[in-house]
Structure 1
Amino acid sequence: MYNSQYLMSQLTNEERLLVNSEVEKRRRSAAVAYLLWVFLGFVGGHRFYFGKTGSGVAMALITILTLGFGVIVTGVWALVDVFLISGWLREDVEQIEVEVAQAILAQRQVN
């Protein structure tokens, strides 16, 4: 995978503005992520939001199949996740930057 900073350095100012515009449109919201964590963290709501479906399903199943007693386990798991969310948000932005920058550079080669 490419480093977004390297790719961004290959772009013109106008192309960087286009990348930033796409990031603003497509990035996940920190407010939504933390609200999902607060209200649905014990069933992995915030993990589904970030596309971490497998671990989200695991959290939901632990809570549901233990008739709620699994909330102790998923509560600790969610507590750890609250410190990971900011990193996931940064990764999301970087991934979008890389995708858009690669598309712009590929389009440049075609023309």
Structure 2
Amino acid sequence: MPRDLISLDIQQKTYIEARLTNEGPSLALAYFFWLFLGIFSAHRFYLGRTLSAVLQVISYLFVVGIIWWIIDLFLLPDMVRERQDEVRRRIAERL
């Protein structure tokens, strides 16, 4: 959990985690997009990484994108975790 959320009480943290479950990204869905719609960089669009998604789609024209797509297999957990932290911070700011 990000350091700025440490000062929250248990009830607030539970609330944030419940909202994250509903609003945050899913690792399983990110992998689904990667596997079935990876050529369109759907997983990156899903995680809010629009610029890198567009660059990835363009790079597919030059075959480099295929390598990038394979690398994303290993990067997805961290990308999802970062996006979840953003959602946590956004929810905590509303409290």
Query: TM range, normalised to the smaller chain?
Result: 0.7 to 0.9
Runs of 5+ unmatched residues, structure 1: 105-111
RMSD: 1.8
Structure 1 segment 11-90 matched on structure 2, within 5 A: 11-63=8-60, 66=61, 70=62, 72-90=63-81
What TM-score do you get using the length of structure 2 for normalisation? 0.83
Gaps of 5+ in 2: none
User: Normalising by structure 1, what TM-score?
Assistant: 0.73
Output the CA distance in 2 between the equivalents of 1:102 and 1:62. 37
**Counterpart pick for 2:91 among 65, 86, 100:** 100
Larger Rg: 1
Instruction: Give me the identity figure in percent.
Output: 27
Runs of 4+ in 1 over 6 A off after TM superposition: none
Aligned length: 95
